[in-house]
Amino acid sequence: MVACRYFPDREKFTNDMQSSRLVPVCTEIVADLDTPLTLYAKVAAGRDHAFLFESMEGGEKWGRFSFIGFDPLVTFCSREKEVTIEELHNGGDESLTFTSDPLEALKKLIEDLGAAEYEELPRFCGGAVGFLGYDIVRFIEDLPDERTATDLPDSSFMVPRIVLVHDSFKQKITVVCWVRTTGTTDDGERLYGEAIAQIEEVVSRLKQPVGEELFLASGRGTEKEHQFTSNMEKSRFTDMVEKAKEYIRAGDIIQVVLSQRFHTKTDISPLVLYRALRHINPSPYLFFLKLGDIIQIGSSPEILVRKDGERIELRPIAGTRVRGKTVEEDLALEQELLADPKETAEHLMLVDLGRNDVGRVAKGGCVWVEDLLVIERYSHVMHIVSGVHGEIDEGKDQFDVMAACFPAGTVSGAPKIRAMEIIDELEPDKRGAYAGSVGYFGFSGNMDFCITIRTFVMKDDDLWIQAGAGIVADSDPEKEFEETVNKSLGLRRAVELVEKGF
């Protein structure tokens, strides 16, 4: 790895201190010997707040950019209407708790940080990184709030001081250090020097070999099957399906997604579990997100919503077949899936729902569909996918986009609001992280969030998985129950792989 020049230079940095509360200092280094996972292990493993975002496009080829971040300047957490913001300084921490709409509070936090923007930097190099739980929807829509809560915050974010952007195409890393300024140029020399010292420390750690973090074994030995327990009996789930079908017959809804949560105890290393999951189930959104004592480890196939400049994008996924054992069988299953009227009708319904969501924040006449009914292949399954795009309306921002699209129709139902009311009525517990979103709100106004599915949630030695099934008029309750179990199998296999000594 070879260090390059620093950007911005000392003079520009000092000038920008006068107009911005946060100013980045960055450099580029060659990185042709590591994966994003080994990079994370070298610089961020063991930290209380850190993240790794990777991508395998279409489940078949690695995405170009991966992101690593740690050392938070600010942390953000909400439980119902209670918001806590903690600012972390070298001279001590400051914590503030107040009542607010979490999305509004997070938006104000990013605005108040007043970060400088440079076109020379990658599309994401700083901002608020974290998750929105499903129940954040109660601040967007008028929904009841009477069920049992999970022992998790409704949302949690960090604003990292250090961000690494790994470019697999150019085989380089951009190392960014965000500097909190004082509003004057008096401390410019000192702050710039401190930022360079922090970057050099990171670069030095990147030159070291990978430690034992990626090879920690479980104390459970070589169990053949790890036991998970559901938050409901099978009969409770099938009864939920029957009740949902009654609502469908009555014309209340067309579809609703019902889920169950699985829990177990484990001593396995979260980072090793992530390594196993990315091996078993590579996906467009691979993430390891540690925010205090809450860790989310995910391999989500589906974007919730992305905003890049003026463009909005979401990609509904609905319609699934297992992969064939041969190329010929795989192609036959693809044709069978695309010819299935039930699967395509359900998918097109969700495309229309996506068009409506994007249309709430797009310019009039500026919503369109690309790649309608295309097949994306993953390690074990193939899906029908379509792309819904729009051009953002004047006066709208990334938080308006999130409010318009949250939660995804593919994890709630259609019509969305009535489906969510039925979910509240039928499911015994709040969903917590499941069916929410993981991603970032960038200082630049860009955003990228996936749907929180195919995801582990860990706290201490507790491990949860949640999976759902889309219920329609002719759904078989037994098969829908089995679908939720089957959707959790890839994650369960990752646990077993680690316990067998991965």
Q: Which of 215, 248, 276 is the last residue of a domain?
A: 215
Answer yes or no: is 311 within a domain.
yes
**Do 211 and 315 reside in the same domain of the chain?**
no
**Do 258 and 203 reside in the same domain of the chain?**
no
CA distances from 445 to 107, 164, 250, 310, 366 (A): 10, 19, 43, 9, 20
Q: What is the pTM of this model?
A: 0.94
Residue 113's pLDDT is: 95
For every residue of 239-257, DSSP letters joined together read: HHHHHHHHHHHTTS-SEEE
**Do 260 and 314 reside in the same domain of the chain?**
yes
CATH number of the domain to which 169 belongs: 3.60.120.10
Answer yes or no: is 293 within a domain.
no
Q: Which of 150, 183, 215 is the last residue of a domain?
A: 215
Cα of first residue to Cα of last residue in the chain, in angstroms, is 29
**Do 172 and 239 reside in the same domain of the chain?**
no
Query: Helix 36-43 vs helix 270-280: angle between axes, to the nearest 10 degrees?
Result: 180
Residue 281's pLDDT is: 87
**Do 175 and 52 reside in the same domain of the chain?**
yes
Answer yes or no: is 481 within a domain.
yes
Count CB-CB contacts under 10 A for residue 182: 12
CA 201 to chain centre: 29
Under 8 Å between Cβ of 143 and 421: yes
**Do 246 and 315 reside in the same domain of the chain?**
yes
pLDDT tens, per residue, the chain with 502 residues: 444 589 999 999 999 998 999 999 999 999 888 999 999 999 999 999 999 999 876 555 567 899 999 999 999 999 999 999 999 876 567 899 999 999 999 999 999 999 998 988 888 999 999 999 999 999 999 887 776 667 789 999 999 999 999 998 899 999 999 999 987 778 899 999 999 999 999 999 999 998 877 777 665 555 556 789 999 999 999 999 999 999 999 999 999 999 999 999 999 999 999 999 999 888 899 999 999 999 999 999 899 999 999 999 999 998 888 889 999 999 999 999 999 998 898 899 999 999 999 999 999 999 999 999 999 887 778 889 999 999 999 999 999 999 999 999 999 999 999 999 999 999 999 999 999 999 999 999 999 999 999 999 999 999 999 999 999 999 999 999 999 998 898 899 999 999 887 7
Residue 1's pLDDT is: 41
**Do 176 and 252 reside in the same domain of the chain?**
no
Answer yes or no: is 248 within a domain.
yes
Answer yes or no: is 272 within a domain.
no
Answer yes or no: is 393 within a domain.
yes
**Do 186 and 76 reside in the same domain of the chain?**
yes
Q: Which of 185, 215, 245 is the last residue of a domain?
A: 215
Give me the torsion for CA of 451, 453, 454, 459, rounded to 10°. 100
Residue 3's pLDDT is: 46
Residues sharing a CB contact under 8 Å with residue 492, sequence separation 6 or more, in sequence order: 226, 228, 465
Domain count, the chain: 2
Answer yes or no: is 271 within a domain.
no
**Do 77 and 24 reside in the same domain of the chain?**
yes
Selection from 175, 149, 170 nearest residue 5 by Cα: 175
Q: What's the token pair of residue 468?
A: 């759902």
Answer yes or no: is 277 within a domain.
no
Q: What's the token pair of residue 108?
A: 């104000």
Give me the phi and psi of 180, to 5 degrees please. Answer: -80, 120
Residue 499's pLDDT is: 86
* Residues identified as active-site: 383, 410, 434, 454, 470
Print the domain residue range for 324.
229-265+301-499
Under 8 Å between Cβ of 363 and 392: yes
**Do 247 and 160 reside in the same domain of the chain?**
no
